[in-house]
Amino acid sequence: MDPTKMTDSKEFARVAEISSLEVGEQESKPQGSLFRRVIDGFKPAEIDKVDTSGMSEEEIQAIMMSRQPLKRKLKNRHIQMIAIGGSIGSGLFIGSGGSFKTGGPAAVVIGFAIIGFMLFGTMNALGELAVRYPISGSFSVFSVRFLDPSWGFAMGWNYAVMWLVVYPLELIAAAVVINYWKYDDNGATNVNKAAWVSLFYVLISVVNVFGVRGYGEVEFILAIVKILAVVGFCIFGIVVAAGGGPSHKYLGAHYWHDPGAFAHGFKGVAAVFVNAAFAFTGTELSGLAAAEALNPHKTLPRAVKQVFWRIILFYIVSLTIVSMLVPYNNPNLGTASDGSASPFVIAIKNAGVSGLPSVFNVVIILAVLSVANSSVYGCSRTLTALAHVNMAPRWFKYIDREGRPLVSILFTLAVGNLCFLSAYDGYGKVFDWLLAFTGMSSIFTWGSICLCHIRFRHGMRVQGRSLDELTFKAQAGVWGSWLGFAINMAVLGLQFWMALFPPGQSPDAQTFFKSYLSAPVVLLFYIGHRIWTRNWKPYIRGKDMDLDSGMRQVDIEAIKRLNQEEDLHIKSRSIFYRIYRFWC
C-alpha cells in the first residue's frame, strides 16, 4: 500500500511503524514445548551481522546501539504508568516530612513547584530525543553522542551506580516501614528485618527475570494503587480542612500563620529545592523505557506532556493539603524512616480517623517496593547500554532471546544482597556513605538531558536539518531546556551551600561529604575516562554529530507527511480537543 495515498493518520502511522522495523526484530511464533521455550529463551539473541568496514568507532557504536535485541513489549498503558509511578514514591510519602520540618509549608510548595516546572522542560527535552532515538541507555548515550564521550561515561556510570545503591536500600526501607505497627505489638514487627528483606528480594528478582513485560505489569498495578491513594487523600484532606472531620474543627490555612509559613527563611527554601529534586528521582525512567516501547512515537509524547499535570496533582495539591493539616513543628516529622514520620499518616492521625493510617502505611510499603523494582530495571538497562558503547565490561552486552539483559540483571540482583546488611546494627552508617556517592545523581542526569537537547538542536541547525523531521517537538522548545539546565545548576550551587552550612547546624566535614560527595565522584569518572582514552576534544561539534543512527523510523519524508496529517487532524477538531492535545 502506498503511504502517500493514505488519508487515515492512524493507519498510516501503523504502516510506517511496521515498515521501519529493523531486520530480525519481528518475532516468530514460539516452537516446541513450554520447557524447551523457557530454556531456549535464556540463549543469546540472534543478531544479524553488519558490515562495519570503513566506519569510525563512533559510527559503529551508534549502529550497534540501534540494533540491540531488546523486546518491545511495553504498551501505552505501561509507559503512562511508569511515568506516573516514577514520580510517586517514598520521597513524597516520607521524605516530604523532612522538607516541612526544615522549610515550612510555603517553602515546600514553592520548592516543589519550581523543581516541577524545571522537570516539565527537562522531560519534554527527553521526550523529543527519546522519540527520535528510542535506544537503550537513552540519556547516558545521548551525552556520548551530543556532548562528549567522557561526560557520557561519567553520566552513565553515575546513573547506574545510583540505582545499584538504591536497590538494596529500598529493600531495607520496606522492611523498616513495617515497624510502624510496633505500637500495638503487631507480630509482623517482631520478625527479623532480614526475613522481610529476603521476601522482598525474591519478589523483585522474580519480577525482573520475567523480563520487561513483568516489570511493566507490576509498575502498572503499583502506579494505580499510588494514584488512588493520593487522590483519596486529597479528597479526605479537603473534607477535614473544611471542618468535616470527626472533631468538626475548621482548619483552613491556620498552620500557615501558626507556627508560620517559613521555618528557616531562605535557607529552608534552599533545603526544600534539594529535597524536592531527590523526591522526583525516577521521573526520567519513561525515557529509559523508550527502547522497549511498542510504539514510542505515540506513547512517549503523551507521557512526557502529562508530567506537568502529575506534578500539579500528586505533589503540589497533595502537599498543599498536607500543609493545612500538619504544622511544620510537629515532633514526628522527619524523625523516622517508617510511616510514623510520614506527613500523610500524621495528617490522618491528627484527624482522629482510626484504621486509615495503617492502610496508608501499606501504600508506602508498595511505593518503596516500586522504587526497588525500578532500580533493577534502570541499572540493568544502563549497564547494557554502556557495554555496547565499550564503556563497561563486555559481558554486560549479553541479551537473551526474550530480550532480557540477563547478565546486567543478575549483576544488579547480586549487588542487591547488600540488603542483608540489615541484620547488622550499624547498616545505616554504611548506606549513608554509599548514598553519598550518588546523592545528586538525578540533578546531574537532568542537567545533562537539557544540555543534550540544546546541543542536538544546535546540530540540527548547523547541518541544515528541518525540525519537521521530528515526530515530537518539545513544547517549551530549546528555551525550556536552557531554563531547566539553569535551575539544575542552581540546585547544585544551593546544595553546596547547604552542605557547608546546614540549617540550624554548625559546619561539619562529615555532613558536607555526605551531602556533596557525588560531585567529585562524577568529576573522577569524567577525568579518569579522558586520561584513559586520551581524548582531549572538549565537546562534539555540531557538524560532526550523527543525527540519523538509532532512528526507529528512518523515512524522513514519511515522518513529515505523518506530522502534517496529524496536525490537520487536530486542527479539524474542536478548540477543547486542541487544548487537550497540546497539554496532554
Is the pLDDT at 247 greater than 70? The verdict is: yes
> Are both 248 and 270 inside the same structural domain?
yes
Q: Determine, yes or no, domain membership for 499.
A: yes
Q: Are 488 and 481 in contact (CB under 8 A)?
A: no
Q: Which residues contact 49 (CB under 8 A, 6 or more apart)?
A: none
> Are both 566 and 531 inside the same structural domain?
no
Instruction: Work out the angle at residue 56's Cα, subtended by the Cα atoms of residues 52 and 61, and round it to the nearest 5 degrees.
Output: 70
| Residue appearing with cell numbers 568529576 | 523
Backbone conformation region of residue 301, classed left if phi is above 0, alpha if psi is from -120 to 50, else beta? alpha
CA 80 to each of CA 86, 132, 511, 568: distance values in angstroms, whole numbers, following the listed order: 10, 18, 38, 25
Least reliable range by pLDDT among 357-366, 446-455, 508-517: 508-517
Average pLDDT over residues 297-326: 81
> Are both 479 and 581 inside the same structural domain?
no
Q: Determine, yes or no, domain membership for 83.
A: yes
pLDDT at residue 509 in the model = 79
* Per-chain mean pLDDT for the chain: 79
Least reliable range by pLDDT among 149-153, 460-464, 498-502: 498-502
Grid coordinates belonging to 293: 516501547
- Which residues, listed in sequence order, are joined to residue 74 by a DSSP beta bridge? 293
Q: Determine, yes or no, domain membership for 473.
A: yes
pLDDT at residue 553 in the model = 59
Is the pLDDT at 563 greater than 60? The verdict is: yes
Query: What is the Cα Rg of the chain in Å?
Result: 24
Average pLDDT over residues 120-137: 84
Q: Is the pLDDT higher at 539 or at 38?
A: 539
Tens-place pLDDT, residues 331-356 = 888 766 666 788 888 888 888 888 88
Q: Are 174 and 371 in contact (CB under 8 A)?
A: no
Q: Determine, yes or no, domain membership for 236.
A: yes
Q: What CATH number did the domain enclosing 153 receive?
A: 1.20.1740.10
Backbone conformation region of residue 511, classed left if phi is above 0, alpha if psi is from -120 to 50, else beta? alpha
> Are both 117 and 221 inside the same structural domain?
yes
Q: Determine, yes or no, domain membership for 13.
A: no
Q: Determine, yes or no, domain membership for 537.
A: yes
Q: How far apart are CA 377 and CA 163, in angstroms?
A: 9
> Are both 373 and 455 inside the same structural domain?
yes
| Residue appearing with cell numbers 536500600 | 169
> Are both 565 and 533 inside the same structural domain?
no
Average pLDDT over residues 342-371: 86
Where would I find the H helices in 190-211?
193-209
Average pLDDT over residues 390-410: 85
Is the pLDDT at 371 greater than 80? The verdict is: yes
> Are both 502 and 583 inside the same structural domain?
no
> Are both 486 and 569 inside the same structural domain?
no
Tens-place pLDDT, residues 432-442 = 777 777 778 88
SS3 of 143-191: HHHHCCHHHHHHHHHHHHHHHHHHHHHHHHHHHHHHHHHHHHCCHHHHC
CA 507 centroid distance within chain: 32
Q: Is the pLDDT higher at 279 or at 438?
A: 279
pLDDT at residue 5 in the model = 39
Q: Burial-class residue 12 by CB neighbours within 10 Å (0-12, 13-18, 19+).
A: buried
Q: What percent of the chain has pLDDT over 90?
A: 12
Average pLDDT over residues 24-42: 55
> Are both 431 and 474 inside the same structural domain?
yes
| Residue appearing with cell numbers 508530567 | 307
Of the pLDDT bands very low, low, confident and very high (cuts 50, 70, 90), residue 26 is: very low
pLDDT at residue 51 in the model = 60
Average pLDDT over residues 166-194: 78
Q: Burial-class residue 14 by CB neighbours within 10 Å (0-12, 13-18, 19+).
A: middle
CA 297 to each of CA 67, 293, 303, 304: distance values in angstroms, whole numbers, following the listed order: 18, 9, 11, 11
What backbone phi and psi angles, to 5 degrees, belong to 299? Answer: -85, -40
**Best CA proximity match to 533, nearest among 208, 57, 100, 198:** 57
Q: Are 284 and 85 in contact (CB under 8 A)?
A: no
Is the pLDDT at 13 greater than 70? The verdict is: no
Q: Determine, yes or no, domain membership for 143.
A: yes
Q: Is the pLDDT higher at 12 or at 215?
A: 215
pLDDT at residue 483 in the model = 92
Is the pLDDT at 209 greater than 80? The verdict is: yes
Least reliable range by pLDDT among 157-166, 288-297, 340-349, 392-401: 288-297
pLDDT at residue 23 in the model = 35
Of the pLDDT bands very low, low, confident and very high (cuts 50, 70, 90), residue 472 is: confident
> Are both 359 and 433 inside the same structural domain?
yes
Asked whether the bond before 259 is cis by omega within 30 degrees of 0, the reply is yes
CB atoms within 10 A of CB 233: 22
> Are both 496 and 572 inside the same structural domain?
no
Average pLDDT over residues 521-540: 88
Average pLDDT over residues 530-549: 84
Q: What range does the domain containing 185 cover?
A: 71-550
Is the pLDDT at 527 greater than 90? The verdict is: yes
Average pLDDT over residues 105-130: 88
pLDDT at residue 56 in the model = 59
Of the pLDDT bands very low, low, confident and very high (cuts 50, 70, 90), residue 24 is: very low
Please give the tally of structural domains in the chain. 2
Is the pLDDT at 229 greater than 80? The verdict is: yes
Is the pLDDT at 569 greater than 80? The verdict is: no
> Are both 509 and 580 inside the same structural domain?
no
Is the pLDDT at 6 greater than 70? The verdict is: no
